Each structure stands twice: as C-alpha cells, then as structure tokens.
Amino acid sequence: MALEENKAFLRRVPLLYSLNEQQIESLAAGSVRRNYPKGRTIVSEGEPSQSLYILLSGRAKVQRSDLEGKEVILAVLGSGDFFGEMSMIDDAPRSASVITLESCDFMSIAKDSFKAMLAQSNEMCMAVMRGLVRRLRDADQKIESLALLDVYGRVARVLMDFSEEIDGERIVRNRLPRQEIAKMIGASREMVSRVMKGLELDGYVVPMSEGRMMLRGKIASWVD
C-alpha cells in the first residue's frame, strides 16, 4: 500500500511528469512520505545531504543565519516545490535550512534513487536545471531589490510576489507575519510594521479576514 501511495503522490509532482511508469515505480521504492508540524526544521544549513525533498502540501521557508543568529529568508516554498538538489549534485553540505511555516507533507527521495533517475532521464535533468535557473533569477531579483529599492519598494515587492489575482483583485491569501517580511527584505520588524501601517492608511493594502490582504492602487508601480 505504501508503494502505491508513493507512486500516486509522485505522479502529481511537475518535476517528475516526464518519467514513465517503470521509472516512477523505481523512484517510489526509494521514497518516503513524511508529515511535519509547523515550526519543524526539515534540513539544517551545513549538514550532509542524503535526500531530495518535494513539498506536497503546506508552506516552508528557506533561510540562512550567521554566527550571531541573524536570519534572512531566501524563499518561501509551496506545493510542488523541491529542495536539496544542489547538495545532491555537488555533494556539498546543505546551503540553507528549511523550516515549516505550517503543517506540511513531504516526499523524501533517497540520494541514490535521485541520481540514478537523473542518469536515466534527460527530461528530468532539464526540469532540475529549470528549477536551478528559476532560483538564480529569484536571487538576482532579490539583489536588485536590496540595491535599488527603498524599504517601501521592498515590502511592496514581497506583497506582489505573494499575491494572486482573484476576481480581478490582487489578493495575498496566506498571512505574512511582519517578522517574516523583515527577514526577506533585510529590515527590522519595527520598520516593516511602520511601512505596512502607512500602506494601509494610504489605501494600498486593505486587511481582510484570516490575515488575508487586498492590494490596491499603484502598489505594483513601486517594483517596476
């Protein structure tokens, strides 16, 4: 039963769409489904890499910290995203920690199974490469934001990145704590709180129920 469930989950992952049934079955045999509660560290920066993780449901943050404990959030992962592939390709330690923001379901794929599948499937290699390129572009955008945008622009970019169009409106559906935004943009929580209050007073951000927000007006123009 566990094998069949693993196969069913793996078929839903965009990274693996190119694999045939035999390849999916082989990968499922070396995979384990795991559930973690909110606030759980899945992998830690600097530790050896033994598995590729695919996020099936929930959200998790990718972050790094210095010796003084100062943290920066590099990315927020959602359903279908994967991590751990860089360390599995170059055999270097994990470059960042991944921590759940809510209850999450993961599929853990053993290093040997992952490398064997890369050797068998050019399409999967291309999918992994596209994922790496997307992260590089995201990193370039983050560097650009830190260098060229003021704190209002950096907050606006985070809100736009986490929003989606629903019935003609830009909506941020998942609650974004001020502290998490601060770690994404290299600012203090107090500064983010002042900026968010200003955006609300000016009508650019309209609070909704359950921590959701509606984005209005010319907020998008600040990040162009």
Strand ranges, E, within the chain: 31-36, 41-43, 51-57, 60-65, 71-77, 82-83, 97-100, 104-110, 164-166, 169-172, 205-207, 213-215
Token pair 């999450």 is at which residue?
Answer: 104
Q: Is residue 1 scored above 70 in pLDDT? A: no
Higher-confidence position of 2 and 37: 37
pLDDT digit string (tens) for 178-208?
999 999 998 999 999 999 999 999 889 999 9
- Inter-residue contact 107 to 32 (CB < 8 Å): yes
What is the largest distance, in Å, between two alpha-carbon atoms of the chain?
57
Q: Is residue 12 scored above 90 in pLDDT? A: no
142: its two tokens: 């983050």
- Inter-residue contact 27 to 140 (CB < 8 Å): no
In degrees, to the nearest 5, what angle opens at C-alpha 20 toward C-alphas 19 and 25? 95
Mean predicted lDDT score pLDDT of the chain: 86
pLDDT given for residue 223 in this prediction? 57
Point out the least confidently predicted range of 53-67, 134-148, 153-167.
Answer: 134-148
Q: What residues contact 176, with CB distance under 8 A and at least 6 apart?
A: 158, 159, 162, 211, 213
Token pair 């409106």 is at which residue?
Answer: 169
Reported pTM: 0.75
pLDDT given for residue 179 in this prediction? 92
pLDDT digit string (tens) for 94-144?
889 999 999 999 989 888 888 888 888 888 888 888 888 888 888 888 888
Q: pLDDT-derived band of residue 18, with 50, 70 and 90 as boundaries?
A: confident
Q: pLDDT-derived band of residue 217, with 50, 70 and 90 as boundaries?
A: confident
Q: Is residue 53 scored above 80 in pLDDT? A: yes
pLDDT given for residue 61 in this prediction? 93
